[in-house]
């Protein structure tokens, strides 16, 4: 892997422009790349995950940064499809009054992936829009995103990432997500 490319990705994700979800709709390209989600001081304190000077989460969008970030991670109704949203929901369960439900209440499947009841999903989206910012790096032609993503995870150590983090995956995050998954499995329509 080209060291200059890794440095460029690191600079873009760690120190590049950070956009609100609304701003990002206008400036983030509809291309493949990597993204980093940053929190303000209030977010870092609420999540109890470290310092505001590093990204909270880093991920890859194989097809579209707009589709993965803005239409999945930052969109109401998409918690069941977003690892980031499920992690945030688990950590903000009490302060936001969130309740886990199956991804598809009509056909609960008992999986570890859960969604939120609709008003809670809206509260999570509002919290994210108010406190999180997005930085991106667009993949140059011929670059394997998975390799660059792994290098970024090694360099940045984002506290909300669980995959590829080995023993660095936060046990508290895993426990909070497991509790939400259990709540969704026990869910019964009121």
- Give the Cα separation of 128 and 115 in Å (integer): 16
For the beta sheet containing 33-39, the strands, ordered from the edge strand earlier in sequence to the opposite edge, are 57-61, 33-39, 132-138
Per-residue model confidence as pLDDT tens digits over 32-81: 999 999 999 999 999 988 777 889 999 999 988 987 667 778 887 778 78
- Among 158, 37, 57, 86, residue whose Cα is nearest residue 28: 37
Comparing 111-120, 161-170, 177-186, the range with the smallest average pLDDT is: 161-170
Per-residue model confidence as pLDDT tens digits over 4-25: 899 999 999 999 999 999 998 8
* pLDDT above 70 as % of the chain: 92
**Tokens found for residue 150:** 């792994």
- Arithmetic mean of pLDDT, 136-159: 93
DSSP tag of 19 = B
């Amino acid at each position: 892997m080209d060291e200059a490319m890794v440095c460029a990705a690191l600079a873009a994700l760690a120190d590049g422009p950070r956009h609100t979800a609304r701003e990002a709709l206008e400036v983030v390209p509809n291309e493949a790349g990597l993204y980093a989600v940053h929190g303000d001081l209030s977010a870092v304190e609420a999540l109890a995950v470290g310092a505001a000077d590093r990204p909270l989460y880093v991920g890859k969008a194989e097809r579209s940064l707009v589709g993965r970030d803005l239409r999945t991670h930052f969109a109401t109704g998409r918690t069941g499809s977003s690892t980031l949203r499920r992690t945030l929901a688990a950590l903000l369960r009490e302060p936001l009054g969130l309740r886990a439900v199956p991804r598809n209440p009509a056909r609960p499947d008992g999986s570890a992936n859960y969604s939120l009841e609709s008003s809670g999903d809206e509260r999570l989206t509002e919290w994210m829009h108010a406190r999180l910012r997005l930085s991106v790096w667009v993949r140059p032609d011929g670059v394997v995103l998975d390799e660059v993503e792994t290098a970024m995870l090694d360099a940045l150590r984002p506290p909300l990432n669980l995959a590829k983090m080995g023993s660095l995956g936060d046990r508290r995050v895993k426990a909070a997500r497991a509790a939400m998954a259990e709540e969704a499995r026990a869910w019964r329509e009121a």
